Amino acid sequence: MVDLPFIISAPSMVFGMNLLENAKRLASLVDNIEIVLYYTPTLHNIPSHKEMRTLKKIGDQENMTFTVHLPASLEVASQDKKIRKESIQQAKDLLNNLAEINPIHYILHIPFTQPTLVPVPGLYFTPECQEKWDEWTKRALESLEMLNETMGRSNKLLIENINYSPFFLKPFAKNDLCDLCLDLGHLILGRENVTEVIKQYLNFTKEIHLHGVNGYEEHLSLSILPKDLVQEWLRYLIKSSFKGVINLEVFNPRDLKSSMEIVFEAFREETQE
């Protein structure tokens, strides 16, 4: 494997849905696994204590770390007090229970609108919409304070830009309540200038999600994007000495392999110049 300056990661669903099977198979391919959690009243994939002990053993043996992506269904800034309270409590429970595997980061979505698992055409919020966000920001700040009480301000909590500009996450970082998980695919969906956003927010970005986008379909191989553009992003990260996590957030082995090849090629070309 090429000795990259940053940590290469992949989701826990590249080789099907079984968490332990993914951990075993990904261990020889990446440095970090993003444990993607989901939770509904009738279905969830929260790992048992036995599974977490096995994960920790795999991580120790393979010198591999873990990141936990908390369920996208959480709504810690909901206008509904009951939903907000339940989401905060569930997040706290997960933070406590998953501490056993010592994740380097926990990633959280803070939805402004009803959470969805797929992009909604036209539903992307830019800084021009700022006046609508004051109450959302206040609720989110209060919730993040509560979560930081549980975590002891360990700086492990990352908030991901979803269907809105990272601009709206700045108050949370400025209050030292979190850092940023910058999803470049979501920026593409929002038709933002990805290079400029990386430059603007890299100083408090600890993890980057990198995947291809075609129309409103995301989490595809990087090979479907213009190669020169992807290499521009990667070369900037290399020149900036980014040492955080780059998560190739794709969900099948073929897309992971082709995406990794693009990352390795950009690194080789940059270091040979």
- Domain-located, residue 2: no
- Domain-located, residue 37: yes
Q: Determine which helix (DSSP H) or strand (DSSP E) holds 43, and give its type and residue range.
A: none
**What whole-number distance in Å separates Cα of residue 112 and Cα of residue 125?**
9
Q: Is the pLDDT of residue 1 over 60?
A: no
Q: Is the pLDDT of residue 118 over 60?
A: no
Q: What is the pLDDT of residues 44-55, one digit of tens each?
A: 999 999 999 999
- Domain-located, residue 161: yes
Cβ-based neighbours of 75, under 8 Å, separated by 6 or more: 83, 84, 87, 111, 115
Full domain range(s) for residue 88? 7-272
Extract the tokens encoding 31.
């440095």
Is residue 245 very low, low, confident or very high in pLDDT (cuts 50, 70, 90)? very high
- Domain-located, residue 1: no
- Domain-located, residue 207: yes
Is residue 213 very low, low, confident or very high in pLDDT (cuts 50, 70, 90)? very high
Q: What is the pLDDT of residues 11-24, one digit of tens each?
A: 999 999 999 999 99
The structure's pTM equals 0.95
10 by Cβ neighbours in 10 Å (0-12 / 13-18 / 19+) ranks as buried
In percent, the amount of the chain with pLDDT more than 90 equals 82
Per-residue model confidence (pLDDT) at position 117: 61
- Domain-located, residue 64: yes
Question: Stretch 223-251: mean pLDDT, rounded?
Answer: 96
Q: Is the pLDDT of residue 120 over 80?
A: no
Alpha helices in the chain (DSSP H): 19-26, 49-62, 81-97, 134-151, 170-174, 184-189, 194-201, 227-239, 253-272
> Strand 212-214 vs strand 205-210: parallel, antiparallel, or unpaired?
unpaired
The answer to whether residues 77 and 88 touch, using CB atoms and an 8 Å cutoff, is: no
Cβ-based neighbours of 165, under 8 Å, separated by 6 or more: 125, 126, 127, 190, 192, 197
Per-residue model confidence (pLDDT) at position 153: 65
Domain tally, the chain: 1
Tell me the CATH number at 127. Answer: 3.20.20.150
- Domain-located, residue 78: yes
> What is the residue type of 262?
I
- Domain-located, residue 198: yes
